[in-house]
A and B are shown apart, each in its own frame.
Chain A
Amino acid sequence: MGELRLMKGNEVIAEAAIRCGCDGYFGYPITPQSEVMESLMAQRPWETTGMVVLQAESEIASIHMVYGAAGCGKRVMTSSSSPGISLMAEGISYIAGSELPCVIVNVQRGGPGLGTIQPSQADYNQATKGGGHGDYSLLVLAPSSVQEMNDFVGLGFELAFKYRNPVMILADGVIGQMMEKVELMDQQPRWSDQQLKEITGSWATSGKSKDRNKHVITSLEMDSHIMEENNLRLQAKYQRMKEEDVRYELIDCEDAEYVLVAFGCAARICQKTVQLARAKGYKVGLLRPITLFPFPERVIAEMAPKIKGFLTVEFNAGQMVNDVKLAANGQTKVEYFGRMGGILPSPDEVEKALHQKLIGG
């Protein structure tokens, strides 16, 4: 059993980064996630593990610092919230195009524009459909507890290096701000020079020694045929993610006639809705996608012909509902319920929507 603590989601991101042996964090303050960098600065990990922490002049700068440092084969990350992630879109596209590993945390707030500092899930499309220019995907993890904020930092780095692809932890203001009990991992050492050589030595910009060719980190290719091949390689990688790394949780789905689909803080509310509905005799279950890309489309396709309908519950105008519809492929009803602007519905409100939209009466 690891050390138990009562912590805020954002603080846990910082703690997990240090403990998993992260090499560097580059960020810019924005509510509701500023505690990530504040915690890191307070802990001064450069004096203990040697982790670099730097406050950049903007999210544009911080993501390109991540690009530079990730190109050195190191484990680096950033965090921000919605408007900051929009500024990072260029850099994220470059990181994906250059096939570099890194972890990006988005503690979402409501938009569009400056929007609100209240929690939201309105960046689902931005996160799961790339977000910047070009055909690329992030591997997107959606934590729904403070414990998962902890676990997904280490898992994020593992997957980022497995695929040499940026991983986004798509949290929201609730998960970032709320305090919960969390079991922390033991302190892991940062990668040694030997490990770095083994894991990233074939591509990292670590200095061109006499015994190897130069390493160039770039997304540029002027030859269309090679550029198409680069794109096909990326697409094959995303396909592999779909085969090997889809993650989701099923709650009370075995006999369910109606299935709620919700991620992050929405899934926490829906868990209670399932209990309320079951207490009244309705067979309701919950499917919680943990990876939003790759999306758990197979399990949805398998369930679709057996149930009476899906209801997605998401704090946006209805974004994930389109992915559920695609996966269900017309085999059952797919409805959406959500609130926007930072409003969170109660479990009763969700239950009411379930009756109105699917069960009837």
Chain B
Amino acid sequence: MSEIAERLKSIIRPENQVYKKSSVLNDVTMHYCPGCSHGVVHKLIADVIEELGIQDQTIGVSPVGCAVFAYNYIDIDWSEAAHGRAPAVATGIKRIMPEKTVFTYQGDGDLAAIGTAETMHAVNRGENIVMIFINNAIYGMTGGQMAPTTLLGQVTSTTPYGRNVDLNGYPLKITELIAQLPGAAYVTRQSVHTAGAVRKARKAIKKAFELSQKNIGTCFVEVVSTCNSGWKMTPVESNDWMVKQMFPLFPLGDLKDGGKEATEPFQMKG
């Protein structure tokens, strides 16, 4: 026994460390289902906040959805918004404290259904905030109902025979709409299902936070995500399903870069 302890001690040394939990991530057990993307994205945000040294300057806005308790996990100041209102809440915070870094963290129901107006208008004003969009094609928190991003044919508790265009309309590609808005500075779509994807997503989140400090418009990061509980699949099946079914409709990559559009103010006559 003591021999094993000795051996472990010789291995657990700073110089052997290949991975360290961010100090901005609290030491509490997350409530997320095993295999859920939310936890991974939280970790990336905490990492980036630590790396950029902005823990004391960052205010997060958590949504209504499975991520409502994000404030328990990332050790910064938070404002918990009503369902869909996070972009308005973030606008209030950023406008009143323009020197701070402000971000929202929202699900597809929150950002692209009940909060569509707040989302589009915040980006259209070019609010200098970061928006993290967790698109898992379902309402995770309320038990797996249809989301605006639910795929055609996808079975959810409110589309028990599959999403049907005549009844439910089309999956909403809101990130493509966001990328059209002149107020958007950086719009990208990522995922976190492989180590490589996680590294890319981290880079994108870091870029979004860095750009947001330059006040050049809204930085928008969609993460195509899994909700294995809502989808009723194992975590491994979920990853496969996401790659096969979601990626064709929600292809990964940057949709916009380079800051909000510059305009010449229109001169009124007379």
Enumerate chain A interface residues (CB-CB to B < 8 A): 23-24, 26, 52, 54, 56-58, 60-62, 64-72, 74, 76, 90-91, 94, 98, 205-210, 214-220
Name the contact of A61 in the complex, choosing from B57, B59, B85, B93 (C-beta under 8 A).
B85
Q: Say yes or no for B30: interface residue by CB 8 A criterion.
A: no
Q: Say yes or no for B81: interface residue by CB 8 A criterion.
A: yes
Selected A-B contacts with CB under 8 Å, 28 pairs: A24-B92, A24-B96, A54-B91, A56-B121, A57-B118, A58-B117, A60-B88, A61-B118, A61-B121, A64-B81, A64-B89, A65-B89, A65-B92, A66-B92, A67-B89, A68-B61, A68-B90, A69-B93, A69-B95, A72-B96, A205-B93, A208-B56, A208-B75, A208-B76, A214-B76, A216-B79, A217-B80, A220-B68
Known A23-B96, A54-B95, A205-B78; contact A65-B56, beta-carbon cutoff 8 A:
no
Name the contact of B93 in the complex, choosing from A58, A71, A91, A210 (C-beta under 8 A).
A71
Contact A68 B92 (CB under 8 A): yes
Known A90-B82, A210-B56, A217-B80; contact A24-B95, beta-carbon cutoff 8 A:
yes
Cα distance A64–B119 when bound, in Å?
13
| Residues of B81-116 whose CB lies within 8 A of A | 81-82, 85, 88-93, 95-97, 100
Max chain B Cβ within 10 angstroms of own Cβ: one of A66, A69, A94, A98: A69
Name the contact of A218 in the complex, choosing from B71, B76, B88, B90 (C-beta under 8 A).
B71
Contact A67 B59 (CB under 8 A): no
Q: Say yes or no for B55: interface residue by CB 8 A criterion.
A: yes
Q: Say yes or no for B213: interface residue by CB 8 A criterion.
A: no
Contact A26 B57 (CB under 8 A): no
Contact B82 A68 (CB under 8 A): no
Contact A91 B85 (CB under 8 A): yes
Contact A65 B91 (CB under 8 A): yes
Contacts of A70 in B (CB 8 A): 92
List the 5 shortest-distance A-B pairs measured between CB atoms, nearest first. A68-B92, A65-B92, A68-B89, A218-B80, A69-B92
Chain B contact residues (Cβ within 8 angstroms of A): what range? 20 to 34
Q: Distance in Å from the Cβ of A97 to the closest Cβ of chain B?
A: 10
Number of A-B contacts (CB under 8 A): 124
Cα distance A90–B82 when bound, in Å?
8
Q: Which residue of B lies closest to A93 (CB)?
A: B82
Contact A64 B82 (CB under 8 A): yes
Contacts of B117 in A (CB 8 A): 57-58, 60-61
Contacts of B81 in A (CB 8 A): 64, 67-68
Contact B95 A61 (CB under 8 A): no
Contact A206 B97 (CB under 8 A): yes
Contacts of B55 in A (CB 8 A): 208
Name the contact of A216 in the complex, choosing from B77, B96, B100, B118 (C-beta under 8 A).
B77
Contact A69 B96 (CB under 8 A): yes
Contacts of A52 in B (CB 8 A): 95-96
Contacts of A214 in B (CB 8 A): 71, 75-78
| Residues of B159-208 whose CB lies within 8 A of A | none
Q: Say yes or no for B58: interface residue by CB 8 A criterion.
A: yes
Cα distance A206–B55 when bound, in Å?
11
Contacts of B100 in A (CB 8 A): 207
Q: Which residue of A lies closest to B101 (CB)?
A: A207
Contacts of A62 in B (CB 8 A): 88
Cα distance A116–B92 when bound, in Å?
31
Name the contact of B77 in the complex, choosing from A57, A64, A207 (C-beta under 8 A).
A207
Q: Distance in Å from the Cβ of A149 to the closest Cβ of chain B?
A: 24
Cα distance A90–B85 when bound, in Å?
10
Q: Which residue of A lies closest to B64 (CB)?
A: A220
Contact A217 B78 (CB under 8 A): yes
Name the contact of B88 in the complex, choosing from A68, A71, A72, A206 (C-beta under 8 A).
A68
Q: Distance in Å from the Cβ of B102 to the closest Cβ of chain A?
A: 9
Contact B80 A219 (CB under 8 A): yes
| Residues of B33-61 whose CB lies within 8 A of A | 55-59, 61
Cα distance A62–B121 when bound, in Å?
12
Cα distance A219–B59 when bound, in Å?
17
Contact B57 A207 (CB under 8 A): yes
Contacts of A69 in B (CB 8 A): 92-93, 95-96
